[in-house]
Amino acid sequence: MISSCEKVAQVLLTAGVLCFTTWSLGQEFVIDLGDEVVSVDDSIFYASVIDPVYGIEMYESLNHELGGDSIRYGYKKKLMRGWYEDYYPNAQLLHRGYYIDGHLKMYKNFYPNGQLERGFKAQDNIRSVVEKFYQNGSVKSKVIYKDGLAFKWEDYYSNGNMEYYEEFNKSLDYYVMRQTYYKSGQLQTQLHLIKPSKKLYDSVEYFEDGAVKKKGQMGFSENLWDYLKIGKWLTYDKSGKLTKEELFINGKLNKEKSF
């Protein structure tokens, strides 16, 4: 008889491998911790599950819609089908996902404090979305995928301000918009498509106080698959004074003048 309730995960400790099993579902998930031997309360378990930068990534290989190539087996080594849950040693929910033939179709991961870490779901037959969160509950990123490729991407600082934004055209060949932000929320750089037929962009870089630092135009080269500086580029100091003028032809500096 399992204590508390059948959903509570029992922790199995071995030399180098930590396994936790949801007995009511008859399935097991194994995390390799190398040569470490841990206890139920040892923080190394959480460190192995939660990457300080990328979060809980260990389930991503099971998401075939976004390029994963792994499958997961459950009771009697059968491919998982239906809803499954994994738990932390403190009995908090770690993962809840819907599986088809061993790979994930939709899922949510959680921090040890119960806060949602990320969620994945399909919007239709073409688009899907991944939302990630900080442990304080604020949004960390939101990515909309089209046929498994990122179509629109938003990153946020832990203070809630936007850090990065990008959006591609419908065929996912080139940017419609790309922006970076200072932690204060002030726009830092912007690449904005102004003439789609010519794939021509305005590009601006800003100081943290909002003053223009550098500006010019860029063109997307289908041959090089890159964005090249073209025409006149202007550079300013913090007071707004023009300090440099440059002329680019197909990404190469042709003339330069300093003031």
Could you give the CA distance from residue 87 to residue 46 in angstroms, rounded to a whole number? 11
Give 119-148 pLDDT, tens digit per residue.
999 989 899 999 999 999 999 999 999 999
Q: Which region, left, alpha or beta, applies to residue 199 given φ > 0 means left and ψ of -120 to 50 means alpha? A: left
Amino acid 44: pLDDT:
63
Amino acid 116: pLDDT:
98
Q: Taking the model in full, what pTM does it have?
A: 0.81
Residue 172 DSSP code: S
Could you give the CA distance from residue 179 to residue 105 in angstroms, rounded to a whole number? 31
Q: Determine the 3-state secondary structure of 224 from DSSP.
A: coil
Which helix (H) or strand (E) segment holds residue 49: the answer is: helix 44-49
Residue 32 pLDDT > 70: no
Amino acid 9: pLDDT:
35
Give 207-226 pLDDT, tens digit per residue.
999 999 999 999 999 999 99
AA identity, residue 48? S
